[in-house]
Structure 1
Amino acid sequence: MTENPVPRPRRADARRNLDALLEAAKHVLATSGVDAPAKEITDRAGVGVGTLYRHFPQRSDLVIAVLEHEIDACAEAGAALAAANPPGVALAEWVRHYTDFVATKIGLASALHAADSAHQELREHFYRRMGPVLEGLIRAAAAAGDVRADVGAEDVLHAVALLCQPVPGRDAGYGRRLVGVFLDGLRP
């Protein structure tokens, strides 16, 4: 029986490069979308294109790494919001947090629904992390009488994503306003 070797920790400079790439990619993907040129990302990170491809051999690897990190942060906000607020407020605040996440991810909805197998892992991570958090917030708010009981996490995740699609001539505030109307519609 062979044991799996323990992976060596990354060198400090390699870790800095990786962190710089993820931060640069987060910004570039938010402003230019998931099809942004690699050069735009590497220039912002202050590294060469070779460094990008050493860490992320496929574009989908980079997109997935950035989005998974942000998905995790959004999901983790649910517990803090639930602990600090009444159920209806916690749900509304989390949906606003999710709205900001979706509104800055040009192409996220299409990536989540694409037939491309490279995005399958991202889809699974998204629903695995976001679904239970949102379902818990919805059930708590419904039990408190703050929202309708016939709405599930998948309904809210999809509705917000659709409401945040770019509209010609409108800024991101427009999608946020539409999500506010949607939240009002969740009330019993």
Structure 2
Amino acid sequence: MTDSPRQRPMRADARRNYERIVAAAQEVFAADGAGASLEEIARRAEVGSATLHRHFPTRRSLLEVVFHDRVEALCARAREHAGRSAPGDALIAWLRDLNIYAAASRGLASSLLRDGRDTDLLQENGDCRAMITATAGDLLHRAQQAGSLRAGVQPEDLLALVNAISLATEHHRDDAQANRLLDLVIDGIRLPH
């Protein structure tokens, strides 16, 4: 296996190209899903197709980086919420972040899962599924220990509900419905005061 661009040092111009490609890919995949045009990504990044393929020899290698970076950012947001909010409020704020991410991704994860070729992407590259499930579990456990949320709710339940909201609303340009549905979920997991 060859070294990935993340493992070996890059020249400054190569690093800039890499970062522009990833930023463009995030936008294009969010708008068009996992099957988005690599040529469009190269065009938006203002690089040639050969430069894109030098950094990312396959569509999957680019998807892995985009997906992994987004999961890491979500996990970092969870730590921020946990550091400044009460446990129940931290989980709810993070669920809102996750809902926004799911809407902004326009079904990226679900399109990977439906596609069939990349269903194991969630398992690879730092084990994104484990990272996000552990993050949800930590926030959920703290909220349950604080008496803010129902016992018996599992992290996978929360992730499945947010994914279901994303699937149900992915063709709507208005995020209001996704937010309303998340509010219903939140009301369902909170303990009455």
TM, length-normalised to structure 1? 0.89
**Could you tell me whether the CA contact under 8 Å between 1:68 and 1:126 is conserved in 2?**
yes
Q: Which residue of the other structure, out of 126, 129, 135, is the alignment partner of 2:137?
A: 135
Residues 1:171 and 2:181 are matched in the alignment: no
Residues 1:185 and 2:188 are matched in the alignment: yes
Letter in 1 for 2:88: G
Which residue number in structure 2 is paired with residue 3 of structure 1? none
1:30-179 maps to which residues of 2 (within 5 A)? 30-107=30-107, 108-112=109-113, 115-116=116-117, 118-124=118-124, 125-165=127-167, 166=169, 168=171, 171-179=174-182
Which residue number in structure 2 is paired with residue 14 of structure 1? 14
Task: Mark the runs of 5 or more structure 2 residues left unpaired by the alignment.
Answer: 1-6
- Structure 2 CA distance for partners of 1:141 and 1:8, relative to 1, 3 Å: closer
Q: Name the stretch that deviates more: 106-115 or 89-98.
A: 106-115
- Structure 2 CA distance for partners of 1:8 and 1:145, relative to 1, 3 Å: closer
Partners of 1:114 and 1:39 in 2: CA distance: 20
- Structure 2 CA distance for partners of 1:61 and 1:139, relative to 1, 3 Å: same
Partners of 1:20 and 1:42 in 2: CA distance: 9
Give 1:60 deviation, angstroms.
Answer: 1.1
Partners of 1:169 and 1:14 in 2: CA distance: 37
Give 1:112 deviation, angstroms.
Answer: 4.0
Task: Mark the runs of 5 or more structure 1 residues left unpaired by the alignment.
Answer: 1-6
- How many residue pairs were aligned? 181
- SS across alignment from 1:164: helix
**Could you tell me whether the CA contact under 8 Å between 2:33 and 2:111 is conserved in 1?**
no
**Could you tell me whether the CA contact under 8 Å between 2:103 and 2:170 is conserved in 1?**
no
Give % identity.
34
- Structure 2 CA distance for partners of 1:170 and 1:37, relative to 1, 3 Å: closer
**Could you tell me whether the CA contact under 8 Å between 1:87 and 1:137 is conserved in 2?**
yes
- Structure 2 CA distance for partners of 1:169 and 1:128, relative to 1, 3 Å: closer
Q: Deviations over 1:19-72 (max 9, x none)?
A: 000000111111122111111111110000111111111111111111100100
- Structure 2 CA distance for partners of 1:44 and 1:183, relative to 1, 3 Å: same
Q: Deviations over 1:145-165 (max 9, x none)?
A: 111111111110111011112
Could you say what the CA RMSD is over the residues aligned between the two structures, in angstroms?
1.7
Partners of 2:44 and 2:115 in 1: CA distance: 28
Which residue number in structure 1 is paired with residue 25 of structure 2? 25
